[in-house]
Structure 1
Amino acid sequence: MILLSWLLWAALLAALAGGLWALYRTPPQVSLRRELAPSAFQGVRTPMALQVQIHSRLPVRYRIEDAVPRTVIPDVQPVFTGELLGTREHRLDTLLTLNARGVHDWPAATVRWADPLGLFWHSVALPVPDRLEVFPGTHGLILPDLLRPLLSEGSLSRTVGLEDPITLRGARDYQTGDPPGRVHWRLSARTGTLTVRELERTAASSLTIFLDTSGGATFTESAVRLAASLVREAMALDLPVAVASNGGSTAPGRGADALHRALLHLARLQPLLDLPTIPSTRPGGNLIILTALAGDALVAQAMRARATASRVVIVAMPEGFYLEPGEKPRRQWSGAPDTIRELERRAGVLAGAGVLVYVLRGNQSVLRLGG
């Protein structure tokens, strides 16, 4: 008799458990909506609001987790738990810290629910398509010679723009650092004082920034930050800007759309070991090349680009020989790569051909590039 009673109770409990399991197989109705900017800069904190609505016709226990991308750190983890019968709304306001550039797809949220006793838990993914564009961080720059002369399209100017070799505004005494090609030999012979020609300046039509990412991951991260900073400076000067790499190039332009294209290209950029291939530049524009190695192939392409570009600038950044913003000077234990030393030896010849060379030597800050 006792055995029969136990069997009846076991059957009753099994029937109850089976009923609960079958009754709660269907998930509650859940809607989740995120409110955040679609794009932001690396290293900043951007606000996010999360709204969740859950409805169930049965008493239910629930847990809703909205997993953020791995490189995004929320101040408060987006998790909602509770018990309900009917409808309930949750709202969470938090800040996100963006630790890495890139285009990040948001993972699906997870909805877990169970009967009031918590005997059987079920889970389902709740797709909420979202994409967060994290642009490289930018930093201030001191650029008296690299960007400030490239103000805008226009006529001849006495102070801004590129020097026009077919014009002559006047003459002045030679100063240390003046290129030999500017010496006015006839006037110098007549006056007995070394004199150089002063030329009018004409503005450029556009700026293209090319990144040679064959220098590795560390260089690439520094290069994209510098490129983003150059883009920002050029946009402030109302100069049409394009960004290029082995992965392609953006269309040159001004305004928000062109800025978004350039920054998105930089956000997606990854190191490549392929030989750099510089695309054709807009005639009359300017080309800035960021590189860690500056090999012969890159220099040859820079010379070819000079056939159409008004000016080509090679910015060599050998890894470990320049300071990021905020870094303190450190001891250098090795010399620059052979390709960089060769580039410095050829800098004078390249300058005569219209290809300027800037090498960030040991403990030189990128903030003073061109200074």
Structure 2
Amino acid sequence: MLAVFFGRALLYNLLTLRWYERVTRRYMVSCTARGEHTFGPARLRTGDIFGFVEREVEVPGVHRLVVYPRVLPVRGPGIPSRQVLGPLRARRRIIEDPLLVAGVREYLPGDSPRRVHWKVSARTGTLHTKLLEPSTDTDLLLFLNVSTVDPPWLGVIEDRLELAVITAASLAQQQLAAGRPVGLFANSSLRGGDQPVRILPGRSPEQRARMLDALACVIPFETVSFPAFLQREARNLPWGATIVAISGVMSEALAATLLRLRRAGRSVALVLVGDDHERPALPGVPVWLVRGERQWRECETLELV
């Protein structure tokens, strides 16, 4: 029997056991709700058939199950190739990637010691410096707004929030798969915390799991208004980074913040989530719409229009 008390589900089992008998129960868990779920502790209660003697013991231990948001293939026909979701073509040497070694040359005074190729230097007996490949890969910073109505105290549109989380997870997966450094910021805390989500850009194998963990556990209550959070965090971000705001609500304050960042020379874009949004006029700021907030459980792809 399954009962729910104050948001916690309790599973009851009534068993009749004979001497030295053992029973094993296995349950199939359907992971349909994003979030962090805990199992335990368990309570065992036993007694005689007449109810004269009864004993109870608690089995300590709590097991944690994190259900990730859905990650969908991203499709966006007509996205400009020079913007955040397209490849960049290098006309000059902008950034040198330390992971891409094009060759070596003899060491020259002024070369950084970090560029010394020690294996080649040891083999040849003279110092050699690495020649690095140029790269135009810039950091992609996803900013998720957990508010779905304006003002936020009016409530939460749960389906819209879930679609916004799916959008963030899918874009992160797409860009990480392309080898691009991706970071995640959200104006909400994780369960048990009081600080906004901040995951600095990276493309290591652990980055995907780190971001999905955060998106799985993010709660629908903001710790700071999204425009203020976006403006504040942008001051500390790399200048060449691309900022993508993912929001289920459009406000004058958000529009003003995006335009302010664009006028300051920042590369910014907006992904607006929800079925009732029209494309806002934001000169110089690419805007994509994501529909289907009521069908997010059945969607097979994430369409950016």
Pair in the same fold by TM > 0.5? yes
Structure 1 residue runs without a partner (length 5+): 1-64, 153-158, 168-201, 322-335
Structure 2, unpaired ranges of 5+: 95-134, 149-155, 189-195
Q: Who is 1:368 aligned against?
A: 303
Residue 87 of structure 2 aligns to a residue in which SS?
coil
Q: Give TM-score scaled by structure 2 length.
A: 0.62
Alpha-carbon offset, residue 133 of structure 1: 1.1
Residue 105 in 1 paired to residue 54 in 2? no
Which residue in 1 is equivalent to 2:88? 161
Partner of 1:225: 166
Structure 1 stretch 296-305 or stretch 243-252: which is displaced more? 296-305
Determine the C-alpha separation between the residues in 1 that align with 2:19 and 2:161: 54
Distance 2:93 2:180 in 1: 24
Query: After superposition, where does 1:1-371 map in structure 2 within 5 Å?
Result: 79=13, 81-86=15-20, 89-115=22-48, 119-144=52-77, 160-161=87-88, 203-215=136-148, 216-218=156-158, 219-247=160-188, 248=196, 249-272=198-221, 274-276=224-226, 277-278=229-230, 279-280=233-234, 281-306=237-262, 307=264, 309=266, 311-318=267-274, 320-321=275-276, 336=277, 340=278, 344=280, 346-347=281-282, 350-351=283-284, 355-360=285-290, 367-370=302-305
Post-superposition CA distance 1:300-320 (Å, at most 9, x none): 3323444464x32111224x3
Contact 1:213 / 1:220 at 8 angstroms: preserved in 2? yes
Q: Deviations over 1:13-39 (max 9, x none)?
A: xxxxxxxxxxxxxxxxxxxxxxxxxxx
Residue 160 of structure 1 aligns with an amino acid whose one-letter code is: P
Identity of aligned residues (%): 24
How big is each residue's C-alpha offset from its partner over 1:152-190, in whole Å with a ceiling of 9 and x where there is no partner?
Answer: 9xxxxxx932687999xxxxxxxxxxxxxxxxxxxxxxx
The change in CA–CA distance for 1:80 and 1:242 in structure 2 (over 3 A counts) is farther
Instruction: Indicate if the aligned counterparts of 1:288 and 1:312 stay in contact, CA closer than 8 A.
Output: yes
Aligned partners of 2:87 and 2:253: how far apart in 1? 32
Inter-partner Cα distance in structure 1 for 2:240 and 2:44: 58
Identify if the C-alpha distance between structure 1 residues 362 and 259 changes in structure 2 by more than 3 Å, giving closer, same or farther: closer
Per the alignment, residue 180 of structure 1 pairs with none
CA contact (8 A) 1:214 1:271 kept: yes
Q: CA deviation at 1:205?
A: 1.8
Shift of 1:105: 2.2
Instruction: Please give the per-residue CA displacement for 1:213-237, whole angstroms capped at 9, x wherever unaligned.
Output: 2213332111001111112212211
How far, CA to CA, are the matches of 2:70 and 2:292 in structure 1?
23
Per the normalisation by structure 1, the TM-score is 0.52
Q: Is the 8 A contact 2:41 2:59 kept in 1?
A: yes
Alpha-carbon distance in 2 for matches of 1:264, 1:308: 32
User: How many matched pairs?
Assistant: 236
Cα RMSD after superposing both structures: 4.2
Q: Pick closer, same or farther for the CA change 1:121–1:147 going to 2, 3 Å.
A: farther
